[in-house]
């Protein structure tokens, strides 16, 4: 009997959401305790800042250019490599409960098995997972939708309608401030909400295993991704009127304009509503119209959803202990990407390579029986390292197709691995023909982002931030003569570490 692996992800959770990362609003005692007993990674970055490319990296252990899911709407090929397949071949029982999003959700023709699975009454196998029980933010599809239609059909109408009748992202204001995609009228019973459902279905699957089974479960929560519509019974937890504005919110429109004007043009054009480059943002939403109170309300709803996730994780961990697996279970927690939540006066995510979206919470609590000393690793790591880590936990070799390495367990191991940098990439094509292409490197407290030739840029524009002196990334040093030599060095380092690109390039089939 070997080590069990509980891999937990939230969706669109900021790195600073948790108390162990300095969060001061949401109460997250379960995750904070895991961080205190294990390893907290202070500089974890994703390899892409939207859902599908990031999740494809987590399951394959490959960079975005290599696995080929370069934007939302590009399906991961069914025969793509999968860490779940590697573990299953070694005798592990494998499951994914919650949000997968390796295949597009907007799939009216039901081309993809993840979307057909519930209608067929099936639960896999798929991508190496012997069992998949799937949910997303909408209660109308996947296994979670089927569950609600059977158990609580009245609850189906309480959620925010994420798509309008034309299957476009709905931008109607809601809540008490009119904030975009905020909703306070979700009167679903908490135990039927998808956060608790994911936890309960994880427990149910674990209960079907023998006591001596080795298992890998990816427990994937759909929250705190927009729309922000937690159960109304939980709204008392955080009052938006009592919240401070986030440190990354510049304040006045004049301050926002001044900061964004110093960045590549897609920043300011998006804020003004002149060009839609933000992914999953409603076309009618103009960030410049967002009020400070709307920022507060979105943040309050997000904090509530994060508290519910923490409590759900606690229930699963308690059950793991009850089954006698507590000493032998490794727990890894992270997310796919962040969320602006008012930073720079913006919401959502897209071609904006700053800490709001790139930096991740990442906690690894090794199985207590291993005797790992708790600590903090400050060296840069990435999602590309997750799959190799799971194989290392299981005592399995890392296959050549994986481009990451097992996460370092302390600073000395990070030093031996010569971890100096982490890489993030972005490509997108919008319905109006706009294309944006970015390549980003974090190293030594600096973030450098180079544009590549696309519809907006010739390839000589970019961003450079000194995080020690400018943690909010409000001052772009790209054209500062005092940083010319450093910029040249970082760009050369970036070029030297570009991953190989998949050929031929995969094509998007839908928008999300």
CB 249 within 8 A of CB 292: yes
Averaged pLDDT, 126-136: 98
How many Å apart are CA 259 and CA 319, to the nearest integer?
49
Among 153-162, 369-378, 475-484, the minimum mean pLDDT is found in: 153-162
Q: What is the DSSP string of 296-359?
A: HHHHHHHHHHHHHHHHHHHHHHHHHHHTT-GGGEEEEEEES----TTGGG--SBSS--SHHHHE
Beta strands 329-335 and 363-365, pairing class? antiparallel
How many Å apart are CA 407 and CA 404, to the nearest integer?
9
Residue 374 Cα to chain centre, angstroms: 25
Preceding peptide of 200 cis, ω within 30°: no
How many Å apart are CA 146 and CA 123, to the nearest integer?
13
Residue 182 Cα to chain centre, angstroms: 20
- The angle that helices 194-207 and 292-322 make with each other, rounded to 10 degrees, is 10
The verdict on residue 510 lying in a domain is no
Whole-number mean pLDDT of the chain? 96
Q: Is the pLDDT of residue 165 over 80?
A: no
pLDDT of residue 14: 98
Residue 225 Cα to chain centre, angstroms: 9
Q: Above pLDDT 90, what percent of the chain?
A: 92
* Structural domains counted in the chain: 1
CB 9 within 8 A of CB 44: no
Q: Is the pLDDT of residue 163 over 80?
A: no
pLDDT of residue 169: 76
Averaged pLDDT, 227-256: 98
pTM score, whole prediction: 0.98
Averaged pLDDT, 172-183: 94
The verdict on residue 508 lying in a domain is no
pLDDT of residue 2: 81
Residues with Cβ within 8 Å of residue 254, at least 6 apart in sequence: none
pLDDT in tens, 300-357: 999 999 999 999 999 999 999 999 999 999 999 999 999 999 999 999 999 999 999 9
pLDDT of residue 214: 98
Kindly report the backbone phi and psi dihedral angles of residue 14, in degrees, each rounded to the nearest multiple of 5, phi listed first: -65, 155
Host H or E run for residue 260: helix 253-261
Q: Is the pLDDT of residue 393 over 90?
A: yes
Report residue 482 as tokens.
């005092």
The CATH number given to whatever domain includes residue 331 is: 3.40.720.10
Among 62-71, 104-113, 433-442, the minimum mean pLDDT is found in: 104-113
Among the listed residues 436, 425, 433, 443, the one whose alpha carbon sits nearest the alpha carbon of residue 492: 443
First to last CA, the chain: 40
Handedness of CA 102, 227, 200, 192 (dihedral sign): negative
Q: Is the pLDDT of residue 166 over 90?
A: no
Report residue 496 as tokens.
């030297």
The verdict on residue 257 lying in a domain is yes
The verdict on residue 70 lying in a domain is yes
Dihedral, CA atoms, 204, 84, 76, 428, nearest 10 degrees? 90
pLDDT in tens, 261-289: 999 999 999 999 999 998 888 889 999 99
pLDDT of residue 172: 83
Give the range of the structural domain holding residue 127, as residue numbers without chain letter. Answer: 4-496
Residue 30 Cα to chain centre, angstroms: 19
How many Å apart are CA 300 and CA 387, to the nearest integer?
33
The verdict on residue 505 lying in a domain is no
pLDDT of residue 107: 84
The verdict on residue 509 lying in a domain is no
Question: How would you class 273 by CB atoms within 10 Å of its CB: exposed for 0-12, middle for 13-18, buried for 19 or more?
Answer: middle
pLDDT of residue 249: 98
Question: Quick count: other Cβ atoms within 10 Å of Cβ 261?
Answer: 12
C-alpha angle 57-118-320 in degrees, rounded to nearest 5: 65
pLDDT in tens, 137-155: 888 789 999 999 999 999 9
Long-range contacts of 20-26 (CB under 8 A, 24+ apart): 20/363, 21/361, 25/238, 25/243, 25/299, 25/303, 26/238, 26/302, 26/303, 26/304, 26/306, 26/307, 26/310
The verdict on residue 324 lying in a domain is yes
Averaged pLDDT, 3-29: 98
C-alpha angle 431-434-440 in degrees, rounded to nearest 5: 120
pLDDT of residue 512: 79
Among 133-142, 219-228, 359-368, the minimum mean pLDDT is found in: 133-142
Q: What is the DSSP string of 427-452?
A: EEE-TTS-EEEEEEEEETTEEEEEE-
């Amino acid at each position: 009997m070997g080590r069990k692996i509980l891999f937990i992800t939230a969706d669109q959770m900021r790195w600073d959401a948790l108390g162990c990362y300095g969060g001061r609003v949401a109460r997250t005692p379960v995750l904070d305790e895991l961080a205190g007993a294990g390893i907290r990674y202070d500089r974890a970055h994703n390899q892409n800042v939207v859902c599908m490319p990031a999740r494809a990296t987590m399951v394959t252990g490959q960079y975005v250019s290599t696995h080929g899911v370069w934007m939302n709407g590009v399906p991961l090929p069914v025969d793509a490599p999968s860490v779940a397949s590697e573990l299953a071949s070694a005798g592990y029982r494998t499951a994914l409960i919650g949000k997968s999003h390796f295949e597009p959700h907007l799939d009216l023709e039901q081309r993809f098995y993840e979307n057909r699975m519930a209608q067929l009454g099936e639960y896999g196998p798929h991508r190496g997972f012997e069992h998949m029980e799937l949910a997303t933010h909408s209660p109308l599809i996947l296994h979670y939708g089927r569950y609600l239609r059977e158990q609580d059909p009245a609850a189906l109408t309480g959620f925010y309608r994420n798509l309008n009748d034309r299957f476009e992202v709905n931008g109607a204001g809601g809540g008490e401030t009119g904030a975009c995609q905020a909703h306070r009228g979700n009167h679903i019973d908490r135990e039927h909400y998808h956060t608790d459902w994911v936890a309960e279905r994880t427990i149910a699957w674990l209960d079907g295993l023998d006591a001596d089974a080795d298992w890998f479960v990816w427990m994937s929560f759909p929250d705190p991704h927009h729309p922000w519509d937690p159960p109304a019974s939980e709204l008392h937890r955080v009052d938006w009127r009592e919240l401070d504005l986030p440190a990354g919110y510049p304040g006045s429109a004049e301050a926002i304009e001044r900061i964004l004007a110093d960045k590549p043009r897609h920043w300011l054009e998006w804020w003004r509503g002149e060009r839609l480059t933000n992914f999953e943002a409603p076309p009618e939403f103009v960030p410049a119209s967002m009020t400070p109170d709307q920022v507060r309300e979105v943040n309050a709803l997000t904090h509530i959803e994060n508290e519910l996730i923490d409590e759900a994780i606690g229930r699963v961990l308690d059950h793991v202990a009850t089954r006698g697996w507590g000493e032998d279970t490794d727990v890894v927690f992270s997310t796919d990407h962040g969320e602006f939540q008012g930073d720079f006066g913006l919401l959502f995510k897209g071609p904006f390579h700053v800490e709001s979206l790139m930096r991740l919470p990442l906690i690894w609590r090794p199985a207590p029986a291993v005797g790992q000393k708790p600590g903090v690793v400050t060296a840069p790591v990435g999602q590309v390292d997750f799959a190799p880590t799971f194989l290392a936990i299981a005592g399995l070799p890392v296959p050549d197709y994986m481009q990451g390495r097992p996460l370092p367990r302390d600073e000395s191991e990070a030093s031996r691995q010569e971890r100096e940098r982490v890489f993030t990439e972005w490509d997108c094509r919008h319905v109006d023909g706009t294309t944006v292409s970015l390549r980003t490197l974090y190293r030594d407290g600096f973030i450098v982002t180079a544009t590549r030739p696309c519809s907006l840029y010739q390839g000589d524009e970019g961003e450079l931030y000194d995080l020690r002196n400018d943690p909010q990334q409000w001052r772009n040093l790209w054209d500062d003569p005092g940083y010319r030599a450093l910029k040249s060095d970082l760009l050369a380092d970036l070029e030297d570490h570009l991953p190989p690109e998949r050929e031929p390039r995969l094509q998007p089939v839908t928008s999300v």
